[in-house]
Copies of this chain bind each other. A is one copy, B any other.
Amino acid sequence: MDEQEELKPETEQVEEDEKLTTEALHEMIVNKDIQGLRETFLTVQDADIAEAADELETTDLIYIFRSVPSSSTASFFDYLNQDAKENLIAALTDKELVKIINEQAADDVTDFVGEMPANLARRVLLAAKKDMREDINRLLNYKEGTAGSIMTTEYLEFIDTMKVDEAIEAIREKGKGAETIYTIFVRDRKRDFVGTVDLDNLIFASKTQRLSEIMNKDVVSCSTLTDQEEVAKMFRRYDLSAMAVLNEDHKLAGIITVDDAVDVMTAESQEDLARLTNMEPSTKSYMDMSAWENAKKCIPWLIALLVLGTFTTMILNRLESQAIFTTMAILTAFVPTLMDTGGNAGGQTTGLMIRGLAVDDFGPKDWAKILLKEFRSALIVGAMVGAFAFLWITIEQYTGIVNMGDISGTGDITNPLNFDGATIWNGRVWTAEFTEHALIFSGLVALTMFCSIVAAKLIGTLLPIGAAAIKKDPALLSQPLLTTVMDAATLVIYFVIACAFFPAYA
């Protein structure tokens, strides 16, 4: 009964957003409420405490680590941001560091040590016990982004001749330090990796069976050099909870668990999102980034796009001197719309490609099939949007949303334009010439849009697929290149069609 009363507020906590606040935590520290702090670490999720602690001073954090037993603060420490970790490591005594570091998993320590100034990294390595220090040093040698760099070396590996009851006993003894006990990795006497046993298989098996009899042999594994994105795809595809990472000799070098794979998936999709919005991806969370760090991720891409945009400026500048653009000022008014539509249509396709490649729905080898599908789809989209544009632009002209200016061909476009649609509608003689001109003009914009959409979707297919084919991140350059190419292409298409439709003004 009591338990139930105690529990309700806790499970509902997440929904009602009654999270631990920084103020509450700070108050306990100021009041030296050690009991309250320890209680907090027993009842509140470590991730939530770490969030509340995010804005605490280092002195407050030190107080926490000095008052709460290190067994309770291990996972809390892991959740802290990099700056907080560095400040703590600089401020704590050697003895305190030894306690904290050795409660961590070697792979987590590797993650933050890798980004630390050398003097702090040295402190951490000195504090780590011999086994852990060796693990960290080994893990630090794997290139970032490989399976080796995200794997953990704390797993259970048993020989295939072991009996089920021996294995369960061994798990009881050695399991506490392992990252997972739900998957047991099995080697033969030559130390080659030969399979895995899930804990449930152990539980369901009879006690005298050997691991070799009950293990899964068709297991999915990767090498230490496998790209971490590839690893995440395998986790998603095969619904794995842990995966073996093998070295070149087919021996177990480490394991990757599903929570690490989830982190990679999140990071990769965040990276794709960043690329699609023309930003340098960041490994820091937004809240941990300063305004200056944030700006540094934005500026290079904006400048690159500005330089690439020079082609558009140049072409538009040249076209403006062409007779047809000087006589028909209305042409210019549709340039942004046409460019936007081309860019948007291509962006949709680029997005589809990046998503499909990210979840392994298809690969570069399927390019011909995909190009054909996108071409078909582009014809439909181009025809429908073009038809709508024809209608809409005709309406725009008749209602005076856009003013066609002087269509007499004298080049005098400075006469006052009508801001009021009614004047055109009623006051202007609605001649057959006007109607013909308006419809031809709508046709010009609609046809340009059709061509531009089809071109954009084809380029939007080829850029990311091409990047993937040469093993580059499909999101890296696709979007900016697409915009640049399409802006320029749309202008040229527009000009050519305009000259064909209105030869009198060309």
Contact = CB atoms under 8 A, between A and B. Distances in A.
A133 B453 CA distance: 48
Contact of A218 (B10, B168, B291, B419): B10
B203 A313 contact: no
Interface in A343-377: 344-345, 347-348, 350-352, 354-356, 358-359, 361-362, 366, 370, 373-374, 376-377
Contacts of A270: 269, 355, 358-359
B336 A218 contact: no
Contacts of A246: 11
Per DSSP, chain A at the interface is helix
Most buried by B among A326, A340, A380: A340
Given A234-B14, A294-B373, A4 B356 contact: no
Contacts of A340: 305, 309, 312, 483, 487
A336 B309 contact: yes
Contact of A262 (B1, B235, B297, B341): B235
A74 B488 CA distance: 53
Given A199-B182, A302-B341, A303-B388, A287 B362 contact: yes
Contacts of A235: 262
Given A219-B11, A286-B361, A310-B396, A341 B6 contact: no
Given A10-B218, A348-B301, A203 B312 contact: no
A242 B279 CA distance: 35
B305 A14 contact: no
A411 interface: yes
Given A258-B258, A307-B392, A317-B330, A348 B172 contact: no
Interface stretch (A41-49, A86-94, A494-502): A41-49
Nearest to A274: B351
Given A313-B334, A340-B487, 8 more contacts: A1-B188, A3-B188, A47-B237, A265-B266, A274-B351, A292-B380, A295-B377, A320-B333
